[in-house]
Amino acid sequence: MVVERDQDIPSSRVPIIDLSNPDQELVARAVVKASEEWGVFQLINHGITTELIQRLQDVGRRFFELSEAEKKDVAKLDDSREGYARRYTLDLEKRIGTVDQLFHNVWPPSAVNYSYWPKNPQDYREVNEEYTRQVKMLSEKIMEWLSVGLGLRREAIKY
């Protein structure tokens, strides 16, 4: 769905906002309106490349394919919310499975503890940092639009 000038956003679906629209004022109004009416929206053509998203998925998949011993190099400590952990084993009618997770901060830089970031795959850090940069830039733009929509200075709301 592409939002046209002053077009109402349908109330039966989560609004989809196309950031490739050259009328950035219209895009900003659509973000504000969707936020007011829904509190959520989907962005398309946001500038984060499919290649980067696939690379992020790939390094994550490769990490979880490592041996348990390798994954434990970044294991979660009892007093931390960061790190690798095998949360629980499922037994859904004897179909046993496990749920592994890896959590680490990516922003702000003062909260990043690289001891919880895998060294293998070797490009894990590079890809995560690039994805974080892209998401941060997009988030800053959204915060600017919301600031203006609230009648504030463009830089009033910070990521």
Q: What does DSSP assign to residue 39? A: S
Cβ–Cβ < 8 Å for 98, 92: no
Per-residue model confidence (pLDDT) at position 12: 78
Q: Is the pLDDT of residue 89 over 80?
A: no
Which CA distances in Å does 111 have to 104, 105, 108, 115, 116? 9, 6, 5, 12, 12
Q: What does DSSP assign to residue 111? A: G
Q: What is the mean pLDDT of residues 96-103?
A: 84
Q: How far apart are CA 142 and CA 154, in angstroms?
A: 10
Handedness of CA 43, 47, 49, 55 (dihedral sign): negative
Q: Is the pLDDT of residue 22 over 90?
A: yes
